[in-house]
């Protein structure tokens, strides 16, 4: 499925250890996508924390959320975070299209709209090759992620069921429902409606402020937003959102990742029940009851099919409950990772 990297490492040669959190890259060669197209000179960014144990059994893969990078995951990694690097070897991986790994914005041969459309499945396939060909691992203790990272975790548990002991999708989904699709497609239309869009062939990345405003409307809940944004300060905040928009994230990258989420389906056209039957990992599904960005219904329905454990965050922070309710979430995830 993947062409050999142009300069592959010799068998068994893992990357040289670098200080925790240092940006690194893996060259994967030409990445053939499920569509049959290829990403040329494909590479993935990643950062690691902690060390592999002698049994090479303590690796935890942590993919990025939408428009996020591996640097953004640093605050979630630590003794009081979601995963403790004194116990686990954490691999935070930049998902395709995040502007660090291969993306429309940084490709030298498939720039902008010429970059091939990729799927969540393609993200996961590339990460599998990072795990098996760069780190030479045949086993992961866990795959975990937040938002689009949680979406990738659902894909991982279905597509590569035997490689992990545990899977922890956090405010993710195995497939979007119609309300999710309305939000994502409206946001994509907002990017394309920016006067600077120019069919993706811009020389100056457009800010797409309406897309950012749509995001701000849906990250939390009406009650939370009203409580945390005083009317007296709103004018200044609104002006900032209008001026900055989605920047510094690139508009073509934004659209490419959103397109992948829109076409998410861990069943790949089959039944969701059959997809659930493929899962072998122990699973903790974390959802936010009032999430307006990723509807919790599909994730909780999938959890029921699996007989999986669930944690439903009950506050009114919506999609950003992972931060608001960290005091509940983080120890629950650490305990699940540590359970035999």
pLDDT value, residue 318: 97
Structural domains of the chain ordered from first start: 1-340 (3.40.50.1820)
Nearest to 39, CA basis, from 129, 114, 127: 114
pTM of this prediction? Answer: 0.94
What average pLDDT does the segment 297-303 reach?
A: 98
- 17: confidence class by pLDDT, cuts 50, 70, 90: low
Q: Which residues are CB-neighbours of 270 under 8 A, at least 6 positions away?
A: none
Structure confidence at residue 188 (pLDDT)? 98
The 8-class DSSP code of residue 78 comes to: S
Q: Per-residue confidence at 16, pLDDT binned at 50, 70, 90?
A: low
* DSSP E strand boundaries for the chain: 24-32, 38-49, 59-63, 89-93, 140-146, 164-170, 282-288, 309-313
Inter-residue contact 83 to 143 (CB < 8 Å)? no
| pLDDT attached to residue 228 | 93
- Indicate whether 176 pLDDT > 90: yes
3-state secondary structure of 38: strand
Task: Give residue 136's pLDDT.
Answer: 97
pLDDT of residue 56: 96
- Report, as an integer, the average pLDDT of 184-213: 97
Residue 316 corresponds to which tokens in the numbers above?
């009114």
Span 233-261, pLDDT tens digits: 999 999 999 999 999 999 999 999 999 99
Please, which pLDDT band fits residue 109 given cuts at 50, 70 and 90? very high
Task: Please check the confidence at residue 12 and state whether its pLDDT lies above 90.
Answer: no
pLDDT tens profile 22-53: 999 999 999 999 999 999 999 999 999 999 99
For residue 13, pLDDT over 70 is answered with no
What mean pLDDT comes out for the span 66-91?
Answer: 97
Residue 306 pLDDT greater than 90, yes or no = yes
Residue 178: CB partners within 8 Å, gap ≥ 6? none
Q: Is 171 left (phi over 0), alpha (psi -120 to 50) or beta?
A: left
Average pLDDT, the chain: 94
Instruction: Note the pLDDT of residue 19.
Output: 75
On the question of pLDDT at 327 being above 70, the answer is yes
């Amino acid at each position: 499925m993947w062409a050999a990297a142009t300069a592959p490492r010799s068998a068994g040669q893992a990357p040289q250890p670098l200080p925790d959190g240092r940006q690194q890259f893996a060259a994967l060669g030409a990445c053939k996508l499920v569509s049959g197209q290829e990403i040329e000179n494909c590479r993935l960014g990643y950062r690691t924390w902690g060390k592999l144990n002698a049994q090479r059994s303590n690796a935890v893969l942590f993919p990025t959320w939408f428009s996020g990078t591996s640097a953004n995951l640093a605050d979630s990694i630590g003794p009081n975070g979601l995963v403790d690097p004194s116990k686990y070897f954490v691999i935070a991986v930049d998902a395709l299209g995040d502007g660090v790994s291969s993306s429309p914005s940084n490709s030298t041969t498939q720039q902008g709209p010429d970059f091939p459309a990729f799927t969540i499945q393609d993200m996961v396939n590339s990460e599998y090759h990072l795990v098996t060909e760069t780190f030479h691992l045949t086993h992961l203790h866990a795959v975990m992620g937040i938002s689009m990272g949680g979406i990738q975790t659902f894909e991982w548990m279905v597509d590569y069921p035997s490689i992990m002991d545990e899977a922890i999708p956090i405010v993710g989904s195995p497939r979007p429902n119609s309300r999710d699709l309305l939000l994502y497609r409206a946001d994509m239309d907002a990017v394309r409606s920016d006067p600077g869009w120019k069919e993706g062939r811009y020389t100056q990345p457009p800010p797409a402020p309406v897309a950012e405003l749509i995001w701000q409307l849906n990250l939390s809940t009406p009650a939370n937003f009203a409580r945390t944004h005083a009317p007296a300060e709103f004018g200044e905040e609104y002006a900032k959102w209008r001026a900055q928009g989605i920047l510094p994230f690139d508009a073509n990258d934004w659209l490419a990742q959103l397109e992948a989420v829109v076409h998410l389906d861990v069943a790949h056209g089959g039944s969701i029940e059959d997809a659930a039957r493929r899962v072998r990992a122990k699973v903790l599904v974390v959802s936010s009851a009032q999430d307006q960005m990723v509807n919790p219904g599909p994730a909780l329905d999938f959890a029921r099919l699996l007989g999986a454990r669930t944690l439903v965050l009950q506050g009114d922070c919506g999609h950003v409950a992972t931060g608001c309710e960290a005091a509940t979430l983080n120890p629950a995830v650490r305990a699940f990772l540590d359970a035999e």
